[in-house]
Chains A and B, each alone.
Chain A
Amino acid sequence: MTATEAALRPPAGAGGRRLAWRPAEVVERMAETRRATTLVLDVPGWPGHLAGQHVDVRLTAEDGYQAQRSYSIASPPKAPRLALTVERLEGGEVSPWLAGEARPGDRFELRGPIGGYFTWSVAMSRPLMLVAGGSGVVPLMAMLRHRAASGDAGRAVHARLLYSARAVADIIYHQELQRLSVEPGGPEINLTLTRERPPDGWQGFDRRIDAPTLAAAGVAPEMDPDVYVCGPTPMVEAVANALVGLGYEPARIRTERFGPTGEG
């Protein structure tokens, strides 16, 4: 482990202290797409987090029944409020409540931050290459927001996002991504659609992310980027294999995969 990576270790859990369940109150709810909702939360005592980390959410029914799932944090490390973006999965147990039912004033519990590997900080300084599928964009958005909030240090990090969505209406954070991309020193954003014929004037790709797409839209392997890939398992498998084939250093490729469909 390098010194930088050591510095990126999660602040919580490191001292042998239990990660406590904390009450969280919904402050604001924003519809992102047909299926994805962002919940802005008030979490008293939140210890802070790194871009890319997630939380465990626990919902408790009136009869005491509980269900837990993990969700990526969408807000950058120093944001005043914690934000989660949750995609509603058909047949899911927790995501339909978070993405559909939750309203300002509702309360549930969470604990975290969790995950000390799929994390990024501007201090890592190598070029940043992000590859997202569907709601896999959420932890990568926390990284882009962290970069944008880091001023010159952020702008100094060359960054590219390649993001695959089914249709234009399924692109989470679409406006914010467009806004970031046109800022001076902003990241380069490439979108690709996999289930819908692109509309007239579409600037992006219209295929699943494959080796040619990565070669066209990625940070070249010769630039030795830190690579983060997040999405459904088949997409992550295909992308990670293609990246290794293109000559990216396997140890520099960090992956995060979704669990099974219908179980969120």
Chain B
Amino acid sequence: MLGKLSFRNAKRQALNYIIYFITVTISIGLIFSFNFLAFSKDVSELSNQMEYFKQVIVILSIIIAFSIAWLINYTMKFILEKRSKEFAIYQILGIEKKDISSMFVKENIIIGAIALMFGILLGMFLYQVLISIVMNIFKQPYQINIVFSYKALLLTILYFVLIYGIIILKNRKKIKKSKVYELLYSEKQNENHVMRKVKYNKIIFAFSVILLLVSIFVVKYTFSFGSNVSFNLVLIALISLIVGIYLFYISISGFILDFYINNKRRKYKNSNMFLYRNLASKVNTMSITMSTLAVMFVIIIIGLNISMLMNNMLNNEMEILYPFEIMISTTDGDFTKYKEYIKKNSDVVNMHEYKIYTIEQTPLIEALKDTSLRDRKYNKVDNVIKLSDYNKLREMIGYSSVELSNDEIIVNTISTASNYINKYIKENGNYITACNKKYKIKQVEDINLGQLGFNGFVYFFVVNDNEIEFIKENEISSDYLSNNLEYKLVVNTKEKTTQAFYDDLCSYIKTYHFPQVGIYDGIEKEYDVEISLGNVLSRGQRIGETKSFYTIISFSAIYVSLILIMISATLLAIQQLSESEKYKYRYKVLKDLGMDEMDMNKIIFKQIFIYFLLPILIPVLISVPIVLSIGNIFTLAVTYKEIIKNICFVFGIFFLVYSIYFVATDVQFEKNINEEI
């Protein structure tokens, strides 16, 4: 009989907390599929860097396991409170406490086992979706095949059993310690303080708003200097943000009351009085949970945005950094060994070798003064190449030649910098003084020819071939070692280069040594400049690397955020739904007073809407300016438009998941209220 009771209780519990049950199931599905993906041989063979994927996912899974533990613990506490009377009856009927607690354990094992089973089935399906996405990113053919990873399965089960086991044991202890009297009268005890009074409410509210504004401005200030981000300022912003959020949610309920209840005109309008009384008392007792959720939402939104910014940067820099399949720099201009190898091992379409000249920095740097791009010109020099080389490079990637007279100059830069340079030219005239000679800026180009490190930094100049003797006279040696690598070889091959090609080329060249003297940190040092320093670059190899990081970053970010949003929304849903018993009575009073069902559903909708809106209100408002500020340090490769696009995308995903929970809660709540009135 007790077994039957456990089983029926489990069924009822799963139905009453269906949202919670589904969340746990989906979470298990996600954990399993991501671990499955991370341990998949297909994935780890894609690139050397995919090895990190495994580590990242395993670490993130632990964080996620803790979050799920939080949810399960919270829900179980709730369920236990709800069922305290039932447990009291068991005891009064004379059922041994150990039987009661083992019944509770059995119930939860049944629920847990079903969630685990469905979760793993779901995970197997999700895995197929995920792996086809990954294969698509790497442009690899992939056919759905039924594989199974025991490692991932065991890991998932281990996480789950650990979390679940500990929580069940904890609650079992609680039941064993419980007293009938307390259980029987616990409902009465809870009603002692419906409304906690917060002193100096208005002052706290004002203070919290100030703190939030402070954090926004500190972030804006901190990130306006490019990548020189002060850790202390970030810490200040973070602390004021978190404290601000907590104070905001502690004082908001008083504010709602002030606004709606203490004003007679608003109070008696429609159902305001009932609605905001309900809300204020709930928000008041929930303020800490709500603040925690809000802080989590801020982290999710900002984290997702940063991950997307990083991905944008990776993608865009890829284009800027590697316009040619193979790019080699040397100090002496002797490329015979390289060319020999490349010609032998690949199908060369075209190649070109040239020299890049280093001159003193021109005033054009002023154009970048308020941007983070300026940091990229840390070596304080400018670079020049001659027109014929420039045209040859253009031709290699399919651009037509340009003409240039002796006193003219072309600025070739990256697209994110061209706006600033054009603006500078507009304000200061289209002349530039280089090597004490005035040149007319003929045009500003933003063709990607490797002007981020390979051919100069951010921009390089192009002069007529006749001018090159003059430039040579004014050439300076950079105090930065890489600038002595002034001889360049670029090659386009018919087939894309691969990691293997790159590795082979490197090991072939490694027989050489490039001993080199450079001044670094003011001290003259001898370096062994090896290939790994970036003297030999291959696009194919780099793309593989980039795609790996891209995959790792985006998959991890989505993995964590999805589960965290779901867990938070579930928490809100459970809070509301478990209170529906209490609300049922309140709404019954409304109904007895003559309110019809339509109006009641409207109030329910409003109540749940505001309840779900509150914890995301501050995160949404505050994260937009913060993300825009952080976006500043990515301006090198990411355009403003892309940042806005990211924000919209993140909010899109966030609101999609969040509103599913909102709607589910609303529907369930209405059902609960209307059930037995």
**Are A and B subunits of one complex?**
no
User: Interface of B with A (CB < 8 Å)?
Assistant: none
